[in-house]
Amino acid sequence: MNPAQTAPRVLVVGCGGIGGVLLSRMVEAGQRVAAVARREEIASVLRTRGPVLRDEKGERTVRGDLEVFVQPPREGAYDFILLATPPNGVEAAARDTAHLLAPDGAMVVLQNGLCEELVAQVVGETRVLGAIVAWGASSPETGVYERTSSGGFMLGALSGEQDPRLPRLAEVLGAVSQVAFTGNLRGARWSKLAINCAISTLGTVGGSRVGPLLRHRFVRRLAMEVFTEVFQVARAEGVKVEKVASTVDLEWLTLGESERHASGSPSLLLKHAMLLAIGARYRRLRSSMLAAIERGREPPVDFLNGEVVRRGKAHGIPVPVNERLLEAVHAMARRELAPGVETLRRIHEQTRPQGR
């Protein structure tokens, strides 16, 4: 049998930074890929010129077997539908493409947040796989995709079982980056949620790339407060948080009770040093939420810090830093608040514990 006939059929929904890097690397590897771009401008560029990819190999125009739609086709049978929209569009994307799943196909959730649960409500839990993305990407121009940080994928199923479709998905995504598996997808998702609630949201409110912001001691302190609040809520949810492959053990960066009321200690110095190292590694990373606000789009902060705030309230757990950051991002989206380091400084002053 022709190998091309047995290769998984893949549909990428969303051609922003992550989706664009995905389809570019897969096409470059010789895979047959279809994509839903939603905007005619993007679809036209991808059809006529092809995507331009910038990564560790340099810049090049990618050409290959790429079919691009503006709206999902009426018919089709895809083995994997890779959902690469912003989190606030994931449910609509799942509904719009559910009819295109092959009988044994799966929706693959790439969004930050806890979006597998949302997609499972649309197509059922058995038709959902998770792919946690531990790298960054952006789309600085139409049809141009830049990978902004290294990292891989962590794949799993909500059931915690070794789904037989996961090895085939790993073959598909292996063209993009290294792949690892987890039997604790929820735990890994909460770990990534903590990263996004801190790094992405601080970058949005601070209006800058991660590296320069984390040079400020009070910004690093805010990040530790965010991690601490997220882990407290995760424990209340009964989730055993699991380290995401190629990322730091975030639980170590949470604050103990004595540390929360201290201005300095040997353990705090080590944690500050680790965050400085993280800032250096992800110095080019710029928050996609900040880009969304700049383009007049709704930032998906409700799926990040908003998730922590909502679940924290349900458990009676105060999460003041996440709450202030959530309010700040919404105020920025309404053009009522300007991003910047001083905005973060005010949040730090408003939320720091007494005696510190």
Residue 16 has pLDDT above 70, yes or no: yes
Residue 356 has pLDDT above 70, yes or no: no
User: What CA–CA distance (Å, rounded) separates 166 from 29?
Assistant: 19
Per residue in 238-274, is it b (16+ CB within 10 Å) or e — as a string? ebebbbbbebbebeebbbeeebbeeeeeeebeebbeb
Q: Which stretches within the chain are classed as H helix?
A: 3-6, 17-28, 40-48, 90-97, 115-123, 166-173, 185-195, 201-206, 210-213, 217-236, 257-260, 266-281, 288-294, 305-315, 320-333, 341-351
> Are 221 and 127 part of one and the same domain?
no
> Are 284 and 203 part of one and the same domain?
yes
Whole-model pTM: value is 0.88
> Are 313 and 326 part of one and the same domain?
yes
Q: What is the pLDDT averaged over residues 92-114?
A: 97
Question: Tokens standing for 210?
Answer: 């991660």
In sign, the C-alpha dihedral spanning 85, 148, 10, 121 is negative
> Are 11 and 56 part of one and the same domain?
yes
- Nearest of 47, 91, 84 to residue 69 by alpha carbon: 47
The residue behind tokens 């995760």 is 234
Residue 354 has pLDDT above 70, yes or no: no
> Are 42 and 168 part of one and the same domain?
yes
What is the structure's pLDDT at 210?
84
> Of the candidates 160, 183, 206, which is a domain's last residue?
183
Q: What is the DSSP code string of 176-202?
A: TS-EEE-S-HHHHHHHHHHHIIIIIHH
User: What CA–CA distance (Å, rounded) separates 149 from 348?
Assistant: 27
- Residue numbers of the domain that contains 164: 6-183
User: What CA–CA distance (Å, rounded) separates 18 from 197?
Assistant: 18
- Nearest of 142, 149, 116, 137 to residue 45 by alpha carbon: 142
> Are 44 and 115 part of one and the same domain?
yes
What is the structure's pLDDT at 243?
83
Q: Is 39 exposed, middle or buried (0-12, 13-18, 19+ CB in 10 A)?
A: exposed
CATH no. for residue 202?
Answer: 1.10.1040.10
What is the structure's pLDDT at 4?
45
- The pLDDT tens digits of the residues spanning 228-284 come to 999 999 999 999 998 876 567 788 889 987 787 766 688 899 999 999 988 887 777
User: What CA–CA distance (Å, rounded) separates 347 from 344?
Assistant: 5
Domain-located, residue 1: no
Q: Which of 22-31, 190-199, 288-297 has the lowest mean pLDDT?
A: 288-297
Average pLDDT, the chain: 92
> Are 58 and 112 part of one and the same domain?
yes
Half-sphere CA count of 251, side-chain side, radius 13 A: 14
The count of domains in the chain is: 2
> Are 103 and 35 part of one and the same domain?
yes
> Of the candidates 150, 183, 216, which is a domain's last residue?
183
> Of the candidates 136, 158, 183, which is a domain's last residue?
183
In sign, the C-alpha dihedral spanning 195, 200, 203, 204 is negative
> Are 18 and 163 part of one and the same domain?
yes
Question: Tokens standing for 20?
Answer: 């664009």
What is the structure's pLDDT at 1?
37
What is the structure's pLDDT at 185?
95
Domain-located, residue 192: yes
> Are 179 and 208 part of one and the same domain?
no
CATH no. for residue 172?
Answer: 3.40.50.720
> Are 70 and 205 part of one and the same domain?
no
Domain-located, residue 59: yes
> Are 178 and 66 part of one and the same domain?
yes
Q: What is the pLDDT averaged over residues 30-37?
A: 96
Q: What is the pLDDT averaged over residues 320-337?
A: 97
- The pLDDT tens digits of the residues spanning 174-228 come to 999 999 999 999 999 999 999 999 989 999 999 998 889 999 999 999 999 999 9
